[in-house]
Structure 1
Amino acid sequence: MSAENTREPDHICDVVVIGAGPGGYSAAFRAADLGARTILVDRWPVLGGVCLNVGCIPSKALLHTAFIIDAARGLAEHGVAFANPEIDLKKLAAHKDSVVKKLTNGLAAMAKARKVITLQGTGTFSDPHHLIVTSEDNRETIVRFDKAIIAAGSEAMTLPFLPSDPRIVDSTGALELRQIPKTMLVIGGGIIGLEMATVYSTLGARIDIVEALDGLMLGADRDLVAVWQKINARRFDHVMMQTKVVSANAEPDGIHVRFEGSNAPEKAVVYDLVLVAVGRKPNGNAIAAQNAGVTVTERGFIAVDKQMRTNVNHIFAIGDIAGEPMLAHKAVHEGHVAAENAAGKMSFFDARQIPSVAYADPEIAWAGVTETEAQRQGIAFRKAVFPWAASGRAIANGRDEGFTKLLFDAETQRIIGGGIVGIDAGNLISEICLAIEMGADAIDIGKTIHPHPTLSESVGMAAEVFEGVCTDLPPQKRR
């Protein structure tokens, strides 16, 4: 124990995990399953971290409600008309909170069943084998550990020139559903901002988007995003690319925002609500990692090897803090790897693909190498596209705007990537994920019998398009 620690530790464990988000609790549970005495530390009073409490899960609960509302409105074209919905924000927020509570209660029960000790507070290292957990009332608990897994996650980035006002929120504030604004500005054209824009638009807000770069959802291929933009044009009054916010003033009638850039309005625009969704930054500099000898970059990332080890052999890092992409499902798999290595096993994080999904409507999902990346990296590839306009199920659903795209290595003809835009794309992408990991080629995918009529058929049919044997499209030139 360092000289700074003048008392004996309150807890001694084999593995301490800092952060109880999806990666953190998965690491802690895996370590416990392998027989390690495990302590899980988080600032939240319940497990699940940002993702479960104020991120992935509550946003999807609201997006599902928004999807149902929009679908009901669309049924008028099918001859079934409903009255306009009456929105009870308190009940809607209560539903969202009940979803979160059900999951957090489940996690607490699983932690108890595994005898994982949970400590609430902010964890900071005092030396390579001690962690100080500071509670909200400044009580300190000292943990002596053999191995540590850092899963401290990330936090929303802010724009320091914006005033402090309840009408200016980040994604956490937006999820509180304090009001349905008449006008709303979303600063940032990434997935988080556009998902919340979808919810608020369906509830009745008119939306403006401002993005400093030249496109929305820049991680996805432009052809996928183009379909989403066409379908969602009705939601937005202005989509201002290559434009940024330069000032904002909080006035009684709203937030007065000024812009500059290619598509900037000449005068200030007044909004009832402003959502700041300009990205997230890792929390590597918030845990005093230097006291343990762990190297942290200026941006807050911690470098790791394929075993998720930091530069300190017995300390691991996973999730947002260990590098892009900042996705919960990546963190979970990294957490398993870290826990297994902490338990003395030989495990490696060696994924061929990490899927991404924008849970807007229509959904956009992609996995493996994107077409944009392949072109930029000079990868020789061939692509095949199956339009949902030829899908019986998509037409029956009244949602045939989407398509499924597969990318194959030009030489081996093995699948290297794929993208889907359309309803339920987030579920459909899983088959492409598995195909990439298994090294499947077009014949493997195309000759796999898919159920009819389903949207999943589009994956098999895209592979048939690649082979030139698809009978659900006009005659193709056979390869």
Structure 2
Amino acid sequence: MVVGDFALELDTVVVGSGPGGYVAAIRAAQLGQKVAIVEREYIGGVCLNVGCIPSKALISAGHRYQEALDSSVFGVTTENVTLDFTKTQEWKDNKVVNTLTSGIEMLLKKNKVEILRGEAYFNNDHTMRVMTEMSAQTYTFKNAIIATGSRPIEIKGFKFGGRVIDSTGGLNLKEVPKKLVVVGGGYIGSELAGAYANLGAEVTILEGMNTILGGFEKDVVKLVEKNFKAKGVKVVTSAMAKEAVETDNGVTVKYEANGKEESIDADYVMVTVGRRPNTDELGLEAAGVNMTDRGLVEVDEQGRTSVDHIFAIGDIVPGPALAHKASYEAKVAAEAISGKKVAVDYRAMPAVAFTDPEIAIVGLNEKEAKEKGLDVKAFKFPLAGNGRALSLNATEGFVRLVVTKEDNVIVGAQVAGVSASDLIAELGLAIESGMNAEDISLTIHAHPTLGESVMDAAEAALGMPIHM
């Protein structure tokens, strides 16, 4: 190893180039800072390379395959439908992932962000080393933003390797498994279970809690469970995964449910039980950065750590591990370094699961609002009453608004159904802006669109529904 014998100076250094890191670097550069970004693996981080983006590509491919298999309701019939999964994976990697990651690298360079390839390690609160297999260079810095993300949790009895895979392995299978076991029914597990079920796999989900998709309301989850049942997906809740034993041509998964020891054979078992923050090999202790017992970095409302000029964002700080949360925190941290008076406000932070149907939430649900002392009411508009949903043959689901009783201010919303991931944006804006149901109802929505269901839900909240 060749070691640099002098320290190079950096103004603002960002560690990690995922949706938190690259956004922080670009925004800091836009604000006049001289920025460098350190990346040890791939530009775009987990989300763009082996997470959010490729998973949505496989989900989309599964939908296309199902539509090709059966669109008889539209009068469209096909014969001899086949799936070339190698081509599917090539499209995902080359046309989707590579296009985005190369685009991010171009944006970094366009904004004059210096890209440092290697692994960062803090020597102290103003010095770090960036190491590769062949060399190491020492840098001093004025400010740092840590955005190193997270990695899948490995559980006892399920050591990753071979036919025991994490979500990254699940996204990069060479073939669609005939049988797949998914351990963990959160949004990652449920999304990939649905994707592979649509692609033709026989899927079993083992979930330790008494419901899949914890954090979403029961009537929302029931829609997903109903869809899973229609696809032949077996969902076992309150199940304790015990061990995975590889066989000559597959894997046997042992688990306990309802007090009984059970086992199931599969081609692969994918473990998606959560993620661990990447903070354990950064030298943060040497920099004086305080962390929680779970390895999360303690930060204030600007993302500032216990060290005044070091910030942390994304999966390594408290709160949900969401890419858009990381990007939001990135802008706040970059602006704070530039001296702007900013602070995070998670009031309108959406969460989405790209299941069938899609489900999305923002703000408070009715129970949460009441626990906070708000006097609220909730109103739901079914997509069965929406013309565009009917024309798409996608009428399952609803839009629900949670509003204050006194002045109908929108404090929360839940959407289940086609394009829920897009519909939630209008409702997030409404909550962020302090809008009430009348503001939505008086906004002219194009016809026929799914967005009209948001307007209809608002009119229901006002006691004057037209389409129900």
**TM-score, reference length from structure 1:** 0.94
Partner of 2:357 in structure 1? 362
Distance 1:179 1:263, change over 3 A: farther
Partner of 2:318 in structure 1? 323
2:40 to 40, 43, 50: 43
2:340 to 345, 357, 361: 345
Tell me which amino acid in the other structure corresponds to 1:210. L
Partner of 1:117 in structure 2? 114
Tell me which amino acid in the other structure corresponds to 1:94. E
2:214 to 218, 222, 226: 218
Structure 1: 5+ residue stretches without partners: 474-479
Q: CA deviation digits over 1:65-118, x for unaligned, max 9?
A: 112222333411222112253222221111011211111111111111122111
1:91-106 aligned within 5 A: 91-98=87-94, 99-106=96-103
Query: Hey, what's the Cα distance between the residues in 1 that align with 2:402 and 2:180?
Result: 38
Q: Tell whether the 8 Å contact from 2:69 to 2:81 is kept in structure 1 after alignment.
A: no
Partner of 2:428 in structure 1? 433
Partner of 2:462 in structure 1? 467
2:446 to 445, 448, 451: 451
Q: CA deviation digits over 1:182-240, x for unaligned, max 9?
A: 11100000010111111211221101011000111111111111112112212344211
Tell which deviates more after alignment, 188-197 or 284-293. Answer: 284-293
Tell me which amino acid in the other structure corresponds to 1:306. E
Query: Hey, what's the Cα distance between the residues in 1 that align with 2:233 and 2:22?
Result: 42
Query: Hey, what's the Cα distance between the residues in 2 that align with 1:272 and 1:84?
Result: 25
1:157 to 135, 140, 153: 153
Q: Tell whether the 8 Å contact from 1:285 to 1:296 is kept in structure 2 after alignment.
A: no
* Residues 1:23 and 2:27 are matched in the alignment: no
Query: Hey, what's the Cα distance between the residues in 1 that align with 2:374 and 2:280?
Result: 37
Q: Tell whether the 8 Å contact from 1:163 to 1:250 is kept in structure 2 after alignment.
A: no
* Residues 1:411 and 2:406 are matched in the alignment: yes
Tell which deviates more after alignment, 343-352 or 30-39. Answer: 343-352
Query: Hey, what's the Cα distance between the residues in 1 that align with 2:160 and 2:109?
Result: 40
Query: Hey, what's the Cα distance between the residues in 2 that align with 1:351 and 1:305?
Result: 13
Partner of 2:5 in structure 1? 7
1:274-313 aligned within 5 A: 274-313=269-308
Query: Hey, what's the Cα distance between the residues in 1 that align with 2:177 and 2:385?
Result: 39
Aligned-pair distance for 1:23?
A: 0.7
* Residues 1:132 and 2:129 are matched in the alignment: yes
Tell me which amino acid in the other structure corresponds to 1:354. M
Tell me which amino acid in the other structure corresponds to 1:300. G
Tell me which amino acid in the other structure corresponds to 1:177. L
Tell me which amino acid in the other structure corresponds to 1:39. A
Partner of 2:386 in structure 1? 391
Aligned-pair distance for 1:395?
A: 1.4
Query: Hey, what's the Cα distance between the residues in 1 that align with 2:284 and 2:383?
Result: 50
SS at the partner of 1:426? helix
Aligned-pair distance for 1:251?
A: 1.1
Q: CA deviation digits over 1:121-176, x for unaligned, max 9?
A: 221110000111121x1521212100000111111111132245421111100111
Query: Hey, what's the Cα distance between the residues in 1 that align with 2:449 and 2:160?
Result: 49
SS at the partner of 2:13? strand
Q: Tell whether the 8 Å contact from 1:221 to 1:371 is kept in structure 2 after alignment.
A: no
Distance 1:276 1:471, change over 3 A: same
Tell which deviates more after alignment, 83-92 or 269-278. Answer: 83-92
Partner of 1:148 in structure 2? 144
Query: Hey, what's the Cα distance between the residues in 2 that align with 1:188 and 1:391?
Result: 34
1:65 to 58, 61, 66: 61
Query: Hey, what's the Cα distance between the residues in 2 that align with 1:110 and 1:237?
Result: 41
Aligned-pair distance for 1:377?
A: 4.6
Distance 1:30 1:267, change over 3 A: closer
1:228 to 224, 228, 232: 224
Distance 1:364 1:74, change over 3 A: farther
SS at the partner of 1:96? helix
Partner of 1:401 in structure 2? 396
Partner of 1:476 in structure 2? none
Query: Hey, what's the Cα distance between the residues in 2 that align with 1:379 and 1:286?
Result: 44
Query: Hey, what's the Cα distance between the residues in 2 that align with 1:386 and 1:237?
Result: 28
1:173-212 aligned within 5 A: 173-212=169-208
SS at the partner of 1:66? helix
Partner of 2:52 in structure 1? 56
Equivalenced residue count is 465
Distance 1:403 1:173, change over 3 A: same
* Residues 1:260 and 2:256 are matched in the alignment: yes
Structure 2: 5+ residue stretches without partners: none
Q: CA deviation digits over 1:222-276, x for unaligned, max 9?
A: 1111112112212344211111111221111321111113275x44211111010
SS at the partner of 1:77? helix
Identity of aligned residues (%): 41
Tell me which amino acid in the other structure corresponds to 2:38. V
Partner of 1:477 in structure 2? none
Query: Hey, what's the Cα distance between the residues in 2 that align with 1:263 and 1:367?
Result: 37
Tell which deviates more after alignment, 413-422 or 67-76. Answer: 67-76
